[in-house]
Amino acid sequence: NSFTDCNIYLSLKFSVILKRNDFSCRTLHNFILWKLVMSLMPHMIDEYQQKRVEFRKILLGILSERNRWSHCVEWTNKKLGMAVGALFIRDNFNHDSKETALEMIRTIREAFNELLAENHWMDSGTRAVAKSKADSMNERIGYPEFLKDPIELSKEYVTLQITENHYLGNVLAVLQYDAYHNLEKLRKPVDKDKWTTEPAVVNAYYNPNKNDIVFPAGILQPPFYSQHFPKSLNYGGIGVVIGHEITHGFDDKGRQFDKDGNMMQWWNNATVKAFRERAQCIVDQYSKYKLQEVDLYINGRMTQGENIADNGGLKQSFRVNYFILIIRLRISCVSKLRMYWLYVMPEYFGVSCDAECFEKTITMILTTMGPQKTTWFFSCGSPW
Ligand SMILES: [Zn+2]
């Protein structure tokens, strides 16, 4: 067909276009060139920016664009994440944070296992496999070790040429370097130890096909975490995030992968049925929430993974925190609970939202949703 005649590779995202046979090589080439031009436009001078703003206004309803500095910083971090990460950790990362985070993960994983043992709807076989999956979850905290070794770090960028005072040339050089790096991985075994996340981001992840949880250095700072905070605040902040990521390993998507990250059915059929019934409660509950500001209901089915993870994360972190506060500190139950919730609630719900975020929220609810949070609070403040 025309696609193979043109000898061009396109990602699956464009498969809709490829299924049609009524286009010529010329159309396809123009399309690809147009994609390249579109990806370069955010980097160009104001005259081009204006056209782009008008186009996005009609296409996505976006009324205001981000500041140029913020776009440049984000793009540089995304494309040269390890170099930026090395600078970030040198000046901003307290190395004791890694030890503390590991200890918190240990206690929250323990709480997860306790809750697992208490749950009455799982059969004992599935429960045992679930425990072994939770126990073998790898954790990545902060940054990969080679960032502290300048020689190893520069090896990453050996093929990249950056010149002073030549901005667009540098952008093209980075895109070329990126493409080369990606092609290098082709047909090679997956390197499971490789970090794919830039360290200087405020985010956290669960990777189902590696069974790891990742907490980059960027999230291990206030308001999520500080070595100067009391434990209760850290459990209310990063603790909830840790529990959230662990729970992703057992949500509607994560549960389909085994402890080695292979897609596999390790649940007994009756337990799958029981899981679906309970997931339906979460779907129904969240579908009733309306975001007044945009006058739209949350799609509970699409966001169930995030909502399951939020519920799990809160439960596990609360459990650890409850015992720390009630048993060890010996202060009254009420004040301890208040201290915990006072922190958790603003952290989760009190994030402010600017004009761009407002538009983004509407777009997310109407389109992609997927693994993103769609609630007003979550989409604005916490991307995990
Ligand atoms: Zn999540």
pLDDT in tens, 107-163: 999 999 999 999 899 999 999 999 999 999 999 999 999 999 999 999 999 999 999
Reply yes or no on whether 310 is catalytic. Answer: yes
* CA 126 to ligand 1 center in whole angstroms: 23
Residue 344's pLDDT is what?
A: 56
Enclosing H/E stretch for 212: strand 212-216
Q: What is the mean pLDDT of residues 63-70?
A: 85
Ranges of H-type helices in 259-301:
269-287
Residue 155's pLDDT is what?
A: 93
* CA 339 to ligand 1 center in whole angstroms: 25
Residue 334's pLDDT is what?
A: 52
Instruction: Indicate the residue type of 284.
Output: D
* CA 18 to ligand 1 center in whole angstroms: 32
The model's pLDDT over 262-278, given as tens digits with 9 standing for 90+, comes to 999 999 999 999 999 99
Q: Given a cut of 50, is residue 377 above it in pLDDT? A: no
Looking at per-residue pLDDT, the higher value among 261 and 7 belongs to 261
Closest CA to 256 of 272, 244, 279: 272
Q: Given a cut of 50, is residue 2 above it in pLDDT? A: no
Distance, CA of 159 to CA of 184 (rounded, Å):
12
Residue 153's pLDDT is what?
A: 96
In angstroms, the first-to-last Cα distance of the chain is: 41
* CA 269 to ligand 1 center in whole angstroms: 26
Residue 95's pLDDT is what?
A: 82
Q: Given a cut of 60, is residue 250 above it in pLDDT? A: yes
Residue 383's pLDDT is what?
A: 33
Closest CA to 140 of 235, 79, 210: 210
Q: What is the mean pLDDT of residues 280-298?
A: 89
Instruction: Indicate the residue type of 54.
Output: E
Determine which one of 198, 212, 251, 310 is catalytic: 310
* Percent of the chain whose pLDDT exceeds 70: 78
The model's pLDDT over 162-205, given as tens digits with 9 standing for 90+, comes to 999 999 999 999 999 999 988 999 999 988 888 989 999 999 99
Q: Which of 13-27, 174-188, 288-302 has the highest mean pLDDT?
A: 174-188
* CA 234 to ligand 1 center in whole angstroms: 18
Closest CA to 229 of 131, 315, 340, 346: 340
Rg (the chain; Cα; Å): 23
Determine which one of 198, 212, 245, 306 is catalytic: 245
Q: Given a cut of 90, is residue 382 above it in pLDDT? A: no
Enclosing H/E stretch for 290: strand 290-291
Q: What is the mean pLDDT of residues 245-252?
A: 95
pLDDT bucket at 56, cuts 50 / 70 / 90: confident
Reply yes or no on whether 251 is catalytic. Answer: no
* Percent of the chain whose pLDDT exceeds 90: 51
Q: What is the mean pLDDT of residues 18-34?
A: 78
Spatial strand order of the sheet with 212-216 comes to: 138-142, 212-216, 205-207
pTM of the full predicted structure? 0.78
* CA 209 to ligand 1 center in whole angstroms: 15
Residue 165's pLDDT is what?
A: 92
Looking at per-residue pLDDT, the higher value among 323 and 54 belongs to 54
pLDDT bucket at 64, cuts 50 / 70 / 90: confident
Helix 96-118 to helix 304-323 angle, to the nearest 10 degrees?
A: 100
* CA 216 to ligand 1 center in whole angstroms: 15
* CA 264 to ligand 1 center in whole angstroms: 21
Residue 339's pLDDT is what?
A: 54
The model's pLDDT over 321-372, given as tens digits with 9 standing for 90+, comes to 777 666 555 555 555 555 555 555 444 443 334 455 556 666 565 543 433 3
* CA 248 to ligand 1 center in whole angstroms: 7
Looking at per-residue pLDDT, the higher value among 382 and 185 belongs to 185
Distance, CA of 286 to CA of 289 (rounded, Å):
5
* CA 384 to ligand 1 center in whole angstroms: 5
